[in-house]
Structure 1
């Protein structure tokens, strides 16, 4: 579904992504892994068009989208939950969710009911401001907002960061449900190894802006963990 080939990206004079390769198979949950500062978030921002790339291809459903603006990528069916959630704190939960409606292909004016089924707390707090929600509730809101556009690919950047363990478990269950029951393809950045093993089918490890290992999650062995993931 999503293929990155030979991607290079720079911050000023700093070369951050080096001929990077990534393959996200349709219907699978792929976890992008690596220590802090290796280029995981940078890669996601390049995929979403939020950062310019120097060279390389980003193919989504067979189309090279590297030259498209960020505004033209979401309508193709790519939902994005950035690191830190980035909800609108002064808007209500409902207003945050409705922001994604204009992107939908069917031009629906209503938030899909299944989002409230996935996240009952959002329905309970529909008229509360986003900034008044707990961290876990804000993360659920951010995921719900991404799902409003009816994506084919859902990209999540560290969805468990700073969230209490019980909500982490709920988010893991929801990701698996979306992936397995609905068939939504997921690209996930995650630092917590047990969570990654629970929800992901495949992994890709980055180190210093390069892919150094990839495969089925069952192939993520202790040697790879020790060399590239242990802090």
Structure 2
């Protein structure tokens, strides 16, 4: 579904991504792993058009992704949940969700019912301001907003960061449900190994801006964990 080849990116004079390759298989959940500062969020920002690239290519469902603006990439069918959630704190839950409607290809004007079925708390707090929600509730709102786009690919950047354990469990269950029951393709950055093993089919490990190991999640060995993930 998403294939990135020989991607290079710079921050000023600093070379951050080095000839990076990544393949996200349709209908699968791929987890992007690595220690802090290796380029995981930078890669997602490049995919979403939030950072410029120096060279390389990306194909999404047969289309060249880098030929399109960040706004267009959402309407192509990519839902994005950024690190830190980035909801609009002064807007209500409903207003935050409605933002995703503008990117839908079918021009639907109503928030789909299944969003509230996945996240009942959002229905309960529909008129509450986003900034008044707990961290876990804000994360559910951010995921709900990305799903309103009706994505074919859902990208999540550390969805469990700073979230209480019971909500982490709920988010993991929802990712599994979306991926395995509806066939939604998922790419996520995740540091928690138990969570990654629960939700992912495939893994990709980054180190110093490069892809150093990929495979089925069952192949994520203790040797790889010790070499590239242990702090």
Structure 1 residues without counterparts, runs of 5 or longer: none
Q: Deviations over 1:146-192 (max 9, x none)?
A: 00010000000000000000000000000000000010000010000
Distance 1:90 1:173 in 2: 29
Shift of 1:209: 0.1
Runs of 4+ in structure 1 displaced over 6 angstroms?
none
Distance 2:14 2:67 in 1: 22
1:58-73 aligned at under 5 Å gives the runs 58-73=58-73
Distance 1:190 1:103 in 2: 26
TM-score between the two structures when normalised by the length of structure 2: 0.99
Shift of 1:67: 2.5
Distance 1:74 1:139 in 2: 19
Shift of 1:106: 1.1
Distance 1:20 1:213 in 2: 12
Alignment match, 1:4:
4
Alignment match, 2:198:
198
Alignment match, 1:170:
170
Structure 2 residues without counterparts, runs of 5 or longer: none
Shift of 1:63: 1.1
Distance 2:68 2:110 in 1: 28
Alignment match, 2:32:
32
Alignment match, 1:102:
102
Q: How many residues align?
A: 231
Shift of 1:126: 0.1
**Alignment RMSD (CA, Å):** 0.4
Shift of 1:64: 1.2
Give the secondary structure class of the aligned counterpart of 2:36: coil
1:79-90 aligned at under 5 Å gives the runs 79-90=79-90
Shift of 1:105: 1.1
Distance 2:228 2:91 in 1: 40
Q: Deviations over 1:81-138 (max 9, x none)?
A: 0000000000000000000111111111100000000000000000000000000000
Give the secondary structure class of the aligned counterpart of 2:178: helix
Give the secondary structure class of the aligned counterpart of 2:66: coil
Alignment match, 2:137:
137
Alignment match, 2:183:
183
Alignment match, 1:152:
152
Give the secondary structure class of the aligned counterpart of 2:88: coil
Distance 2:180 2:200 in 1: 11
TM-score between the two structures when normalised by the length of structure 1: 0.99
Give the secondary structure class of the aligned counterpart of 2:183: coil
